[in-house]
Structure 1
Amino acid sequence: MLFVPPLLLLVWLMGLLSVAVLGGAGWLIWEWYDNWAVGLPADWRLLYAGLAVLVLALCGRWLLVPFLGRKPRTEEEEWRPLPPGTVHRLPRPDGSVLHVEAYGPEDAPTLLFTHGWGLSRAEWWYAQQHFAGRYRLLLWDLPGLGQSDSPDDQVFELGRLAGHLGAVLELAGGRPTILCGHSIGGMITLTFCKLHPERLSSQIAGLVLTHTTPTNPVNTAWGARFLRPLQGPLIRPLCHLTIWLSPLVRVMNALAFLNGLNHLGNHFMQFGGTETRGQLNFTVLSDLRANPAVAARGMLGMMRYDAVNVLPHLTLPTLIFKGDKDKATLPSAGDWMAGTLPAAEEVLLAPAGHLGLLEQHREWLKAVDAFAQRCFGARS
């Protein structure tokens, strides 16, 4: 599950349900064994039912996954792991070490990609395949995710993450650069623009904001009317509980993976229903790799984020993507930004959820390609 505050409720629901299913299987088997072991009449139906539920708890994904996600139509369409690039390791004052990989000609204009929370730079596989021959690409892992190390104080404020983005931008060597951000990556990009306006006119040629919001994502998520009142009494405490019980949450996530609930949740909450099985598997496996404590701390940072006031002053060309079925960031958030940014254009991906840049990657690449040519051509 791509980690934004509203979806934390679903993560816990799926995890607790997974524990309950496994516990139910154990109870049925124990009830049968308890009578059988002391020589009393044993109801063998309890054993058979318990074994059946146990199989569902541990192997349910094999029954469910064939019905989720479609087969790719071409080899190019299926997501695959990134090839190795030129590695840069950037130590930061907070103790974190950023992992950055560069692709493409060193003297070319640069595309700098910032991924969504809970994922890694691997989400940009389609972009790497499409752009690496013509542009310099900088792909980095946010602190605590992928191959980047967490800060010593375990603080993941958006302002600090924007500072990390600035450090990665130094690797562009002053060449014209387009900042591309997905979800929290877009929030970090807007925060960078808010905190470092002096760096925009000299180097930044444009912004690409994909499935992102200019404010606390609780306010622009599906069900925001009901989630906003729950932010203080439920969502924030649940973030802290996730941090304290991180090992237990890892176990619950693993159980949700085994029984298929994680696949089901991602299918309905992250996509528009036309994703490939490889795209779905990439998202599910990212859930397993992400540290729940890091994910929860990042959510706390998101709930303190706001970049609304910077929008009217951003004159950079900006390309905004929204998904027609995005539940984590409603399409209205994209409309809001497009109506406020002075030089924005908007693209609707359909059908697409919060990971529409994967699900509708051809349309996403086509629009970004045309936008980059306009921005870099104008810079020339």
Structure 2
Amino acid sequence: MGSLSVLRAFFAILSLCLLAASAYLLWSWYDGEWVRDAEGVLRRVREDWRLWTGGSLLAWSFLGRSVVLLLVARGDTDPMRLERGNGTFVDSPTGARLYVEIHGSDDLPPLILTHGWSLDSRIWHYAKRELARHFQLIVWDLPGLGQSKRARAKVDMRGFAQDLAAILQLAGGRPALLAGHSIGGMILQTLVRDQPELFGREVRGVVLLDTTYTNPLKTMILSGLAQALRWPVIEPLMRLTILLQPLAWLAAWQSYLSGTSHLSTRLGFGRSVTRTQLDRTARLMTMQNPAVTAHGDLAMFRWSAEEALRACPVPILVLGGSKDIVTKAEASEHLAHIAPRAQLQIMEGANHMGPIEQAAAYHSAIIDFAQAVQFRRPTPL
């Protein structure tokens, strides 16, 4: 989501400042200061505190990740892994080449998961293990992220919705359940708006996970400040990231090694996040092309589908986190209010990355919803 991208950029700048400070201190120690002693002889004087401080900052710049993880996350009982299954590629009408994995038996009802921005389908580690027992689970990488290739055209939500419609064809004509986290939920709403004929015919139900209905800067915490900073700070920073993509990528990896990227990512989790959940999420965000993520952030700032769900004929489950700082619970409440067949469930203690941190609770809610709607024919409005 755009607000987390901005936080990652600022923390990456902080990490570079620490690295620059270490370089300055080490150089100033080596260079020293020439002073004349009582006998009139010039001697180089070095201050040891510069050596130790500079060395410590340099070590933190490349090894701080482990310390940060120990301090800000819990130990693991069920480690998260970044794994790929047997994937294939689907060509989209947009020109994108989409990486897709299918898990579970084709005798089970199809469930298509769309991940959040700056991530890829490997974020669904727990879902691929648990939900594939109940569904034929289809996960995919958004264009330009993971192994999916985007067309030369600009990144936009309408194109993403067309890509999702192409993925929907993998259900083989069977009514499917669509679920999307963060930007994934925004893409689902765009699909409802642009291709409403799919809903009730090829789509049996929709699950919106920690998402919003408009520019996410308007539904995050400190939204007034975020919107005030949009034009003078945030958008120029995104465009600078696009122009300086190789340097931005190097800065992102240095931030990952120092642990500052983990601090920014930690803001999207609740109190029970584990070390592997935090580290793997931060790593996925670091691995993505920063120019692509910046283009996507700019697209989100210009997006709104506030009225899209009013005409949606299928049941909708809206799952929001009570502690979500990126898409506040009020955004989930608004979505549930405007959709005629929506039900709302606020997950207590969940932040924006609730589907990872509280995977079992989210999965249970999705399974219960699917059982309620899977064999019930949607009624037209």
Scaled to the shorter chain, the TM-score interval is over 0.9
Letter of the 1:63 partner, please give it. Answer: V
Partner Cα separation in structure 1 for residue 124 and residue 6 of structure 2: 27
Tell me: CA distance 1:83–1:290, structure 2 relative to 1, closer, same or farther (3 Å): closer
Partner of 1:55: 59
Partner of 1:72: 76
Corresponding residue pairs, total: 371
Of the three residues 43, 46, 68, the one matched with 2:47 is 43
Partner Cα separation in structure 2 for residue 345 and residue 101 of structure 1: 29
Matched, 1:95 2:95: yes
Q: Is this contact kept in 2: 1:272–1:350, CA < 8 A?
A: no
What is the root-mean-square deviation in Å for CA atoms of aligned residues? 1.8
Partner Cα separation in structure 1 for residue 84 and residue 13 of structure 2: 37
For residues 220-257 of structure 1, what are the alpha-carbon distances to aligned partners after superposition, in whole Å with 9 as ceiling and x for unaligned? 11111122232233222221111001112112211211
Give me the identity figure in percent.
Answer: 35
Partner Cα separation in structure 2 for residue 135 and residue 45 of structure 1: 61
SS at match of 1:201: coil
Partner Cα separation in structure 2 for residue 79 and residue 41 of structure 1: 51
Task: Indicate the larger mover: 103-112 or 22-31.
Answer: 103-112
For residues 259-301 of structure 1, what are the alpha-carbon distances to aligned partners after superposition, in whole Å with 9 as ceiling and x for unaligned? 211112211x210121111111111111220110000000111
Partner Cα separation in structure 2 for residue 352 and residue 108 of structure 1: 29
Letter of the 1:98 partner, please give it. Answer: L
SS at match of 2:137: strand
SS at match of 1:181: strand
Partner Cα separation in structure 2 for residue 166 and residue 94 of structure 1: 11
Partner of 1:244: 243
Partner of 1:29: 26
The offset of 1:58, in angstroms, is: 1.7
Partner Cα separation in structure 2 for residue 276 and residue 53 of structure 1: 26
Partner of 1:272: 270
SS at match of 1:99: strand
Letter of the 2:14 partner, please give it. Answer: L
Task: Indicate the larger mover: 288-297 or 341-350.
Answer: 341-350
Q: Gapped runs of 5+ residues in structure 1?
A: none
Q: Gapped runs of 5+ residues in structure 2?
A: 35-41
Partner of 2:186: 187
Partner of 1:317: 315
Larger Rg: 2
Partner of 2:293: 295
Matched, 1:356 2:357: no
Matched, 1:12 2:16: no
Matched, 1:230 2:234: no
Partner Cα separation in structure 2 for residue 102 and residue 45 of structure 1: 57
Letter of the 1:81 partner, please give it. Answer: L
Tell me: CA distance 1:126–1:143, structure 2 relative to 1, closer, same or farther (3 Å): same
Tell me: CA distance 1:131–1:65, structure 2 relative to 1, closer, same or farther (3 Å): closer
The offset of 1:93, in angstroms, is: 4.1
The offset of 1:83, in angstroms, is: 5.2
Partner of 2:38: none
Partner Cα separation in structure 1 for residue 355 and residue 232 of structure 2: 34
The offset of 1:39, in angstroms, is: 4.5
Partner of 1:208: 207
The offset of 1:212, in angstroms, is: 0.4
* Larger helix percent: 1
Q: Is this contact kept in 2: 1:236–1:300, CA < 8 A?
A: yes
Letter of the 1:20 partner, please give it. Answer: C
Partner Cα separation in structure 1 for residue 142 and residue 166 of structure 2: 12
SS at match of 1:273: coil
Q: Is this contact kept in 1: 2:4–2:264, CA < 8 A?
A: no
